[in-house]
Amino acid sequence: MDSAQRYNEEKKYSGSSGPRATIRLSGGGRYAGSCGQVMMNAELQAQVTFDVASIRADFPILARTIYRQRPLVYFDNASTTQHPQTVLAAMERMYRERYANVHRGIHYLSEQASAAYEAARETVRALIGAERAHEIIFTSGTTASINLVARSWGDANVGPGDEILLTIAEHHSNIVPWQQLAARRGALVRFCELSFDPEADLESFRRQLSSKTRIAAFSAVSNVLGYRFPVKEMVAAARQAGARTLIDAAQHVPHEPTNVRDWGCDFLAFSGHKMLGPTGIGVLYGKESLLDAMPPFLGGGSMIQSVTRDGFVPGELPAKFEAGTPPIVEAIGLAAAADYLSEIGFERISEHERILVQRMHARLGEVAAVHILGPACAHKGGIVGFGVTGTSHFDLAVHLDLQGYAVRLGHHCAMPLHQFLGRHDSLRASFYLYNTLAEVDGFVEALQAALQHLRG
């Protein structure tokens, strides 16, 4: 559907839409308690632990309207997130006042830029509880971080007959690099199927581990279902089997407290743009002893100690894995985002999302033909994936968009998961700290109106 068609569709649709919720935290009506149970507004309101209205005021984009003056309701946070003023200001200030290349000059600006870049690394170290700043490698995102490990650690440590263990819920970023590694090295990729009950899934995971498993790579939170994996226990089981672990924390670090030492994982990857930061910056955490032993992945400037006609000597960590000019301003933006989130508190952010998910589960339960996918909300982060029987998901997503609701439709880069669930695609609403209960209510009402309209 092009924009002209959308405009016409909107004109048709606007006469029959359901009530459009205003953006507010409290108001009349019921709110959801635990999955499926409905709680009074005041009860749930009392659980909200921070002032969402003042948080929203920090995000300029949330004040804008779309189409015909409809408030924007942004439920596509698992894909990418919006930016608070502090992140925008930190990046602008860096470009305006301190911009130069890092680690390459002795001039004033270069020194300032280098100091800011290394301070950003320290901020990320503290964010995930790593022991040493040089265990933090800046990359372009989760995808780049996982590819780095699969290429550098994988080529050196995985051989014919070895196994790589994944779960069926992985994002393609945590599947394809391992499939490529397996093809290069004659290894096998195994998938742990899931029941979305953490205890049962931990058992299945254990059963798939063997002395052949060289690495287990899995997400902390599924980007489709919001399923929270029992990370610490899975890491311990893999370690007991003699396997290394990589955690795809793209949907965890932005939303909950993360501590790599508590988890005991070997590697961890996440992206800046899913946590209020800019695109083009991500993080690979690796244990020092592993990173030290790994060969560089990309070759070029900055990653060497010396180069002669005959070869090169790689530099120390973290430079060894940061060839070329790094994403300097993006790293400053990521650090500003981490500071913003830390100040609010990750416990409170995850609690807020839990309340939104509970409400969404309860309200979607009232809509006939809607099937929520995956686990009960007790085992979920702030993501709700669902399907609707008998109506085109595409048409629904377009109608919701015309009402101002940004949700995602498709396989969400998790085709094996959808094959496992016996589905071609799904709809996904994913929340963040700036979303409100009123938005959830408005969404379900808009969904009901869209279903009524489409079914005629």
Ligand X SMILES: Cc1ncc(COP(=O)(O)O)c(C=O)c1O
Q: Which residues pair with 50 in a beta bridge?
A: none
Residue with Cβ nearer ligand X (78 or 116): 78
Residues 6+ apart with CB under 8 A from 308: none
Q: Identify whether 327 is preceded by a cis peptide bond (ω within 30 of 0).
A: no
CB atoms within 10 A of CB 132: 12
**Phi and psi for 359 in degrees, rounded to 5?**
-65, -45
By CB atoms closer than 10 A (0-12, 13-18, 19+), residue 181 is buried
Give whichever of 21 and 128 is closer to ligand X, judged by the CB atom. Answer: 128
Least distance (Å) from ligand X to the CB of residue 69? Answer: 31
- CA proximity to 54, closest of 77, 84, 29, 34: 84
Candidate list 192, 265, 377, 413, residue with the active-site label: 413
In the complex, what is the shortest distance from the CB of residue 15 to ligand X, in angstroms, rounded to a whole number?
A: 36
Considering the complex, state which of residue 82 and residue 173 has its C-beta at the smaller distance from ligand X.
Answer: 173
| Distance of closest approach, residue 266 Cβ to ligand X, in angstroms | 17
Q: How many residues does the chain have?
A: 456
The nearest distance, CB 342 to ligand X, in angstroms, is 21
Nearer residue to ligand X within complex by CB, 174 or 358:
174
- Give the shortest CB-309-to-ligand X separation in angstroms: 37
Binding site for ligand X (CB under 6 A): 78-79, 141-143, 171, 173-174, 219, 223, 248, 250-251, 271
Q: What are phi and psi of 155, to 5 degrees?
A: -60, -30
Q: Are 446 and 405 in contact (CB under 8 A)?
A: yes
C-beta closer to ligand X: residue 114 or 142: 142
Of 286, 304, 294, 234, give the one whose Cα is nearest residue 263: 234
Task: List the Cα angle 6/407/331 in 5-degree steps.
Answer: 115
Tokens for 274, please give them.
Answer: 């899913």
- Is 413 among the residues known to form the active site? yes
Which C-beta is closer to ligand X: that of 268 or that of 400?
A: 268
Our CB check for ligand X shows the closer of 250 and 402 to be 250
451 neighbors 391 (Cβ within 8 angstroms)? yes
**Minimal distance in Å, beta carbon 162 to ligand X?**
23
With vertex at residue 347, the alpha carbon angle to CA 346 and CA 349, rounded to the nearest 5 degrees, is 60
CB of 221 vs ligand X, minimal distance in Å: 7
The catalytic residues are: 413
